């Protein structure tokens, strides 16, 4: 692949920011894409959180002095497994990593199926057919909290399909949970982890919003909310075990900042393409359309950050996915699940392409660079102190 395969189709007009591991300083640098080079702007914003907290990040970057730079094509092609080469990191640092679940009515049905099947793939197919017969086309174009949503909920309840997922899927309150600890997300080209004990799991291609401490959305990127369907299916109380594991949160490749050419309306219209390619030649393709989301992205932001709950360093917010694969991979009736070595590509025309490879959580690189290490590294480089914006 070339540089253009990973970047937005209109990358020449986009303001794209990210984080690079710089082996010369053994730590991360905040960068902006200029032409075919990543330019270090750490002297102006030591962390991505600091950059997004500024009044106008786009204006700051426009007037920032050019610093050290790297070939964008070489960085995008580099493997994070080789710490001697500059490579992309997740484009967030001090932000909390939050996620919204069951934001698409169709994926809500899959959660109901997971719960009723108790993690049993064989039962899932029969339950899916039963629910389809009950609801018909009731869930098309549904908006959470609307009278139509309440009617759909009543239909499912009368059919004997009570589920806690109905409440967060089409009720007034969204499901918002902590996806991963600060700094634990992996970036483009990194390995993503699934528990060795999981036999039913899948990628979740999502748009991820970048918001500052004031709850203002200043940009967007792509993410893979890696999901263990059998674990969460056994009990919703196992959400943490199903969602928060080593290398289970992938974000990238870069954050596209909002400006005159890219706004929240572009997020609302985003189409995400997913391709999973196995080492055995298996290929799965899918799509998630933000036009079908049951809750507006700004409603989800408002339910995440408010007077009741603050994020002083900002937050990244996974918006949920429409994608829930039911295509059989090996055994008829058992649907899709990952195999080691699967290459997962999530692409969107205005946000680029995020590529990761599946491994087990105990085989993925350990997460060792935490907040304390980041502060020590930045202090040693003379980057801490009063805001430089």
Residue 51's pLDDT band (cuts 50, 70, 90): very high
Cα distance between residue 231 and residue 199, in whole Å: 9
Cis peptide before 253, with omega less than 30 degrees from 0?
A: yes
Residue 20's pLDDT band (cuts 50, 70, 90): very high
Residue 222's pLDDT band (cuts 50, 70, 90): very high
> Nearest-CA neighbor of 105 among 143, 161, 151?
143
Average pLDDT, the chain: 91
Is the pLDDT assigned to residue 38 strictly greater than 90? yes
Structure token digits, residue 349: 């025309």
Residue 65 is predicted with a pLDDT of 83
Q: Is 115 left (phi over 0), alpha (psi -120 to 50) or beta?
A: alpha
Is the pLDDT assigned to residue 23 strictly greater than 80? yes
Q: What is the pLDDT of residues 113-127, one digit of tens each?
A: 777 887 777 788 788
Residue 135 is predicted with a pLDDT of 64
Residue 97 pairs in a beta bridge with 180, 316
- Give the position of tokens 């969107």: 348
Q: What distances in angstroms separate CA 36 from CA 33, 75, 106, 156, 308, one per listed residue?
A: 7, 11, 40, 53, 43
Is the pLDDT assigned to residue 78 strictly greater than 90? yes
- The values of phi and psi at residue 165, to 5°, are -70, -25
First-to-last alpha carbon distance for the chain, in angstroms, is 36
Dihedral (Cα; 75, 79, 84, 88), 10-degree rounding? 40
> Average pLDDT for residues 97-107, to the nearest whole number?
86
Structure token digits, residue 350: 């205005």
Q: Is the dihedral of CA 45, 215, 314, 247 positive or negative?
A: negative
Is the pLDDT assigned to residue 363 strictly greater than 70? yes
Structure token digits, residue 12: 């020449």
- Give the position of tokens 């009950």: 134
Structure token digits, residue 35: 């032409």
Residue 67 is predicted with a pLDDT of 83
Residue 383's pLDDT band (cuts 50, 70, 90): very high
DSSP 234: H
- Between 294 and 6, where is the model more confident? 6
Q: Is the dihedral of CA 122, 177, 209, 147 positive or negative?
A: positive
Residues 6+ apart with CB under 8 A from 61: 15, 17, 32, 41, 44, 51, 257
Half-sphere exposure of 379 (CA within 13 A, CB side): 6
Determine which helix (DSSP H) or strand (DSSP E) holds 348, and give its type and residue range: strand 343-348
Q: What is the pLDDT of residues 171-217, one digit of tens each?
A: 889 999 999 999 999 999 999 999 999 999 999 999 999 999 999 99
- Which three-class secondary structure state does DSSP give residue 98? strand
- Give the position of tokens 């590529």: 355
Provide the CA 273 distance to its chain's centre, in angstroms.
13
Residue 137 is predicted with a pLDDT of 55
- Regarding beta strands 343-348 and 271-277, do their DSSP bridges make them parallel or antiparallel, or are they unpaired? antiparallel
Cα distance between residue 55 and residue 374, in whole Å: 24
Residue 141 is predicted with a pLDDT of 59
Residue 386 is predicted with a pLDDT of 54
Residue 121 is predicted with a pLDDT of 73
Residue 139's pLDDT band (cuts 50, 70, 90): low
Residue 136's pLDDT band (cuts 50, 70, 90): low
Half-sphere exposure of 233 (CA within 13 A, CB side): 23
Cα distance between residue 203 and residue 338, in whole Å: 8
């Amino acid at each position: 692949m070339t540089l253009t395969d990973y970047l937005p189709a209109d990358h020449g007009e986009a303001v794209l920011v990210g984080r690079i591991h710089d082996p010369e300083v053994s730590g991360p640098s905040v960068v902006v894409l200029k032409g075919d080079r990543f330019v270090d702007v750490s002297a102006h914003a030591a962390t991505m959180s600091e950059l997004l907290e500024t009044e106008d990040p786009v204006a700051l970057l426009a007037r920032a002095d050019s610093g050290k730079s790297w070939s964008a094509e070489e960085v995008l092609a580099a493997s994070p497994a080789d710490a001697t080469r500059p490579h992309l990191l997740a484009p967030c640092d001090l932000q909390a990593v939050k996620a919204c679940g069951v934001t698409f009515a169709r994926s809500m049905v899959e959660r109901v199926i997971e719960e009723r099947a108790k993690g049993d793939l064989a039962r899932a197919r029969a339950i899916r057919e039963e629910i389809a017969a009950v609801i018909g086309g009731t869930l098309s174009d549904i908006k959470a909290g609307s009278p139509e949503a309440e009617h759909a909920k009543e239909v499912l309840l009368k059919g004997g399909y009570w589920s806690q997922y109905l409440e967060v899927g089409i009720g007034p309150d969204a499901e918002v949970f902590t996806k991963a600890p600060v700094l634990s997300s992996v970036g483009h080209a990194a390995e993503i982890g699934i528990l060795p004990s999981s036999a039913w799991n899948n990628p979740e291609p999502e748009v991820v919003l970048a918001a500052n401490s004031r709850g203002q959305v200043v940009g967007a990127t792509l993410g893979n909310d890696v999901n263990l369907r059998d674990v969460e299916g056994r009990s919703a109380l196992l959400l943490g075990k199903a969602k928060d594991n080593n290398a289970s949160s992938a974000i990238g490749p870069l954050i596209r900042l909002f400006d005159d050419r890219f706004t929240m309306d572009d997020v609302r219209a985003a189409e995400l393409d997913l391709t999973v390619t196995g080492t055995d030649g298996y290929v799965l393709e899918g799509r998630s359309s933000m036009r079908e989301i049951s809750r507006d992205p700004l409603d989800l932001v408002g339910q995440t950050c408010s007077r009741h709950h603050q994020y002083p360093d900002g937050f990244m917010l996974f918006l949920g996915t429409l994608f829930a694969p039911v295509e059989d991979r090996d055994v008829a009736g058992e649907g899709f699940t990952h195999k080691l070595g699967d290459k997962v590509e999530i692409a969107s025309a205005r946000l680029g392409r995020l590529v990761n490879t599946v491994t087990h959580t105990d085989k993925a690189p350990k997460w060792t660079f935490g907040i304390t290490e980041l502060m020590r590294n930045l202090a040693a480089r003379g980057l801490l102190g009063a805001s430089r914006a």
